[in-house]
Amino acid sequence: MRTYMAIAAVLYSALMTGVVTNAHGQASSVVQSQDATEAAAVDATAEALEVIIGFRINPVRLTFQPEQRELVGLGSYIVNAQGGCNDCHTNPPYAAGHDPFRGEPERINRANYLAGGTQFGPFVSRNITPDSKGRPGGLSFDEFLNVMRHGYDKDKAHPQLGRKLQVMPWPVFGKMRLHHLRAIYTYLTAIPHAEPAR
């Protein structure tokens, strides 16, 4: 029985780490636990699940072309389950009586969803809903990338501090894959325009 357990432990270790050891516990060769095809299939399966979850947790009506479905769902997953965009870009983030931080059942403030208006000292979060041309925050995709990767403040709202956004965590979001940034942008084009709460 111990022999089987030892073999199982070695196989499990090899599968998880890709390292195979000899009888003396020394690494004898490196193997791939999954080939490129299997890894791609795992990534595709994970992303398909994220798309499904993205649609399930999306709080607003969406308008998009059928060919945008996967990007919109993935973008919703990133915006609503990973990025925490609602916390800064929706004011207030939760509907009255539905703030989970107060032990209430969660419901996003749909009326002002991602319309900005949250105060951070001298800074106010931007409205990132689509403008009349369907551009999130009035940004083209290239401008959006410049914001997300480099913190470029196209409005120059605080010239005394330079041209970089000061509250937006662009140094973190800028490390995301281009595919994920495109998904976020595509999702933001699909949500309805909203105005900040007054």
DSSP H or E run through 29: strand 27-30
Q: Are 160 and 186 in a shared domain?
A: yes
Q: Are 126 and 180 in a shared domain?
A: yes
Q: What is the pLDDT of residues 71-88, one digit of tens each?
A: 999 999 999 999 999 999
Mean pLDDT of the chain: 86
CB 104 within 8 A of CB 98: yes
Q: Are 14 and 83 in a shared domain?
A: no
Domain that holds residue 172: 36-190
Q: Are 9 and 46 in a shared domain?
A: no
User: What percent of the chain is predicted at pLDDT more than 90?
Assistant: 68
Q: What is the pLDDT of residues 99-155, one digit of tens each?
A: 999 999 999 999 999 999 999 998 899 999 999 999 999 999 999 999 999 999 887
Q: Are 21 and 118 in a shared domain?
A: no
What burial letters (b/e) apply to 105-131, b meaning 16+ CB within 10 Å?
A: eeebbeebbbbbbbeeeebebbbbbbe
User: What percent of the chain is predicted at pLDDT more than 70?
Assistant: 82
For 145, the token pair is 């990338």
Strands 123-124 and 119-120: antiparallel
Q: Which pLDDT value is given to residue 155?
A: 78
Higher local confidence (pLDDT), 90 or 161: 90
Q: What is the pTM of this model?
A: 0.79
Query: Rounded to whole angstroms, how far apart are CA atoms 178 and 190?
Result: 18
Residue 19 has pLDDT above 80, yes or no: no
Q: Are 15 and 57 in a shared domain?
A: no
CB 187 within 8 A of CB 50: no
Q: Are 19 and 42 in a shared domain?
A: no
Residue 84's CB is within 10 A of a number of other CB atoms, namely: 12
Residues 6+ apart with CB under 8 A from 106: 94, 98, 99, 100
Q: Which pLDDT value is given to residue 9?
A: 53
Q: Are 40 and 123 in a shared domain?
A: yes
Query: Rounded to whole angstroms, how far apart are CA atoms 91 and 116?
Result: 6
Degrees (nearest 5) of the Cα angle 138, 144, 149?
155
Q: Are 12 and 68 in a shared domain?
A: no
Q: Classify residue 198: in a domain, yes or no.
A: no
Instruction: Flag the least confident range among 21-30, 65-74, 122-131, 173-182.
Output: 21-30
